[in-house]
Amino acid sequence: MIDAILDKALKGERLTVEDTIALFESNEVEKMGHTANILMERMHPDPITTFVIGRNVNYTNVCDVYCRFCAFYRRPGSDEGYVLPDEVIFQKIQETIDVGGTEILMQGGTNPNLPFSYYTDLLRGIKQRFPEITMHSFSPAEIQKMVVVSDGLTLEEVVRQIHEAGLDSLPGGGAEILDDRTRRKISRLKGSWTDWMDVMKTAHKVGMNTTATMVIGLGESMEERALHLHRVRDAQDECIRNGYDSEGFLAFIPWTFQPDNTNLKLDRQTPEEYLKTVAISRITLDNIKNFQSSWVTMGPEVGKLSLQYGCNDFGSTMIEENVVSSAGATHKVNIGSILKLIRETGKIPAQRNTRYDILRVFNDENANVENDFVMQN
Ligand code: SF4
């Protein structure tokens, strides 16, 4: 049965939800990886693995959504809550540019004390100072909070205004599992899966690209994992069908729940389960081109293996990842290590921008970046 499903995918036929569930229920991980790798190579025939140099700026840890799996947030009013001063954010962006970085992923809690003008003013201030930087920032939960604090703007108005102020694209954080049974258990206040998807569809409509994530190991069923993938595939179809000035979901990034320091007592997912999910995602999502390895959570060695299971991208250097590191994933890889790890898989490393345009190919074995470093949080 698994062979028949994989054959179908190789012939270019689309998987049904039942097919995807059958793959999740199977342990034929290597077969799935082999198929995913062939499908990846059809879309990316050059033996290149890309990465982006970027920085994650956690501008505030104040949040009123209280997700059970989150070790990062502080309640409004907490002594440990913070909002980074603008000057500190500017400094972090300058440091990122200084080492050849192109992307800033601003990500924080849904802080009820920040007005909508905080975001638009900050983005304008950033773009005035650093027109070359790509702002790939704010997850759907933060956009929803902006709608709440905007005093009457619609979701589309908020997304248009923030795009005009300087937001280039939206990261797909907070998708967790796009099904309400699991969402209600882990982050009751975060909104339904359709709320998450509405933000993404609106971003596509106004001309922004986005990415999509998926977190496994939150107590979800195999059916819910499959539905997650098919819901993302349907939204991507919709973006293409409507001919929006957007490529929709530019990339898909599955990763695993990190249970340390959280209120959810769940088992850590195995590397095999992660690699299987990467492969099934590549096989099911035939309309998404790029799949990012998640070495921040899985570690560099598994990250390297994921390049044989359908990933064509090593993600961001993610030099400041407080949300994940609070929950126990503390792998830090400097840019030199990324080049080395990619080369060890037989691929040629290449730096890309947020749109996946290649900026620099590291053809020469000895080529390295001048400012090879690991930033401290
Ligand atoms: S995951 Fe995000 S939305 Fe949920 S509590 Fe943490 S910071 Fe808030």
Ramachandran sector of residue 304 (left: φ over 0; alpha: ψ -120 to 50; beta: rest): alpha
Distances (CA, A) of 275 to 36, 47, 243: 10, 20, 33
Q: DSSP letters of 106-147?
A: E-----TTS-HHHHHHHHHHHHHH-TT-EEB---HHHHHHHH
Is the shortest distance between the CB of 70 and ligand 1 below 6 Å?
Answer: yes
Residue 327 has a pLDDT of 56
R_g (Cα) of the chain, nearest Å: 20
In sequence order, the 6+-apart residues with CB closer than 8 A to the CB of 216 are: 177, 225, 254, 255, 256, 257, 269, 273, 274, 277
What is the sign of the dihedral through the CA atoms of 340, 344, 345 and 350? Answer: positive
Is the shortest distance between the CB of 73 and ligand 1 below 6 Å?
Answer: yes
**CA-closest candidate to residue 250, choices 165, 354, 176:** 354
In sequence order, the 6+-apart residues with CB closer than 8 A to the CB of 123 are: 135, 162, 165, 166, 167
Question: Pocket of ligand 1, candidates 148, 182, 186, 190: which has the most ligand atoms within 8 Å of its Cβ, to mutate?
Answer: 190
Q: Measured from the CA of 190, which atom of ligand 1 is nearest? A: 3
Residue 319 has a pLDDT of 58
Is the shortest distance between the CB of 350 and ligand 1 below 6 Å?
Answer: no
In degrees, to the nearest 5, what angle opens at C-alpha 55 toward C-alphas 374 and 261?
80
Q: Measured from the CA of 64, which atom of ligand 1 is nearest? A: 8
| Helix (H) or strand (E) run with residue 295 in it | helix 295-298
Is the shortest distance between the CB of 110 and ligand 1 below 6 Å?
Answer: yes
- How far out from the chain centre does Cα 333 lie? 17
Tokens of 78: 């907490």
Burial class (CB in 10 A: 0-12, 13-18, 19+), 30: middle
Residue 309 has a pLDDT of 98
Q: Residue 286 Cα, ligand 1 centroid: separation in angstroms? A: 30
For the stretch 143-179, what's the b/e string if a residue is b when 16 or more beta carbons lie within 10 angstroms of its beta carbon?
Answer: bbbbbebbeebebeebbbbbbebbbbbbbbbbbbbbb
Instruction: Give me the tens of pLDDT residue by residue for the chain, a chain 377 residues long.
Output: 999 999 999 999 999 999 999 999 999 999 999 999 999 999 999 999 999 999 889 999 999 999 888 888 999 999 999 999 999 999 999 988 888 889 999 999 999 999 999 999 999 999 999 999 999 999 999 999 999 999 899 999 999 999 999 999 999 999 999 999 999 988 888 889 999 999 999 999 999 999 999 999 999 999 999 999 999 999 999 999 999 999 999 999 999 998 876 778 888 899 999 999 999 999 999 999 999 998 878 888 899 999 999 999 998 875 554 544 555 544 444 677 789 899 999 999 999 999 999 999 998 765 554 434 333 32
Tokens of 14: 């689309």
Q: Residue 244 Cα, ligand 1 centroid: separation in angstroms? A: 30
Ramachandran sector of residue 346 (left: φ over 0; alpha: ψ -120 to 50; beta: rest): left
What letter represents residue 274's amino acid? Y
Q: Residue 259 Cα, ligand 1 centroid: separation in angstroms? A: 14
Q: Measured from the CA of 72, which atom of ligand 1 is nearest? A: 6
**Strands 358-361, 348-352: pairing kind:** antiparallel
Give the full edge-to-edge strand order of the sheet including 134-135.
Answer: 54-57, 103-106, 134-135
Q: Distance between CA atoms of 249 and 220, rounded to whole angstroms?
A: 23
Question: Pocket of ligand 1, candidates 59, 61, 63, 64: which has the most ligand atoms within 8 Å of its Cβ, to mutate?
Answer: 63
Q: Whose CA is nearest to atom 1 of ligand 1?
A: 70
Is the shortest distance between the CB of 66 and ligand 1 below 6 Å?
Answer: yes
Q: Residue 119 Cα, ligand 1 centroid: separation in angstroms? A: 18
Is the shortest distance between the CB of 109 and ligand 1 below 6 Å?
Answer: yes
Q: How many helices (H) and strands (E) does the chain have?
A: 15, 11
Distances (CA, A) of 212 to 53, 86, 287, 292, 314: 19, 28, 13, 10, 15
Residue with tokens 């359709």: 194
Q: Tell me 313's DSSP state.
A: E
Q: Tell me 12's DSSP state.
A: T
